[in-house]
Amino acid sequence: MAGINDLVLIYLDHKPAFYARVEDISPDVKPGWYQVELLVLTLPPQSMVWILEGEHLQGAEFTMGGRPVRLAPVPRKAAPPPDRPGPGEKGKIIPLTRNRK
């Protein structure tokens, strides 16, 4: 299920069309529906609000103007293994030297 701050790939007509970040999800006046604010990652970025059912946030296909649309969550990058330094930590520096003969 897509949640706030998740990156999603929007499919139009069964083809990838653009990426967006889910900025906010709030209940709509219609039960089971949500107002989903999306920041479309274009130049310049654009903000839009779509009113969707809960199942649409889980990847179910729906239509807009007769065109099939689907939100597909983009998987997050896995956390680094424990033996690798994290952000702000110092790692091992390996100097690059040339073999001279």
- The pLDDT of residue 81 is 72
Whether the model clears a pTM of 0.85, i.e. scores above it, the answer is no
Closest residue by Cα to residue 73 from 23, 38, 21, 26: 21
Task: Give me the pLDDT at residue 98, please.
Answer: 74
Q: CA 88, CA 48: separation in Å to the nearest integer?
A: 35
Closest CA to 38 of 70, 7, 74, 75: 7
What's the CA gap between 62 and 32, in Å, rounded?
Answer: 15
pLDDT at position 18 is 96
Residues of the chain with pLDDT under 50: none
Q: Using the structure block, give the residue that is written with the tokens 């479309």.
A: 40
The DSSP output letter for 57 is G
Q: Give me the pLDDT at residue 2, please.
A: 84
Average pLDDT, the chain: 89
**Three-class secondary structure assignment of 15-35:** EEEEEEEEEEEEECCCCCEEE
Number of residues that this document lists for the chain:
101
The rounded distance, in Å, linking the Cα atoms of 17 and 98 is: 47
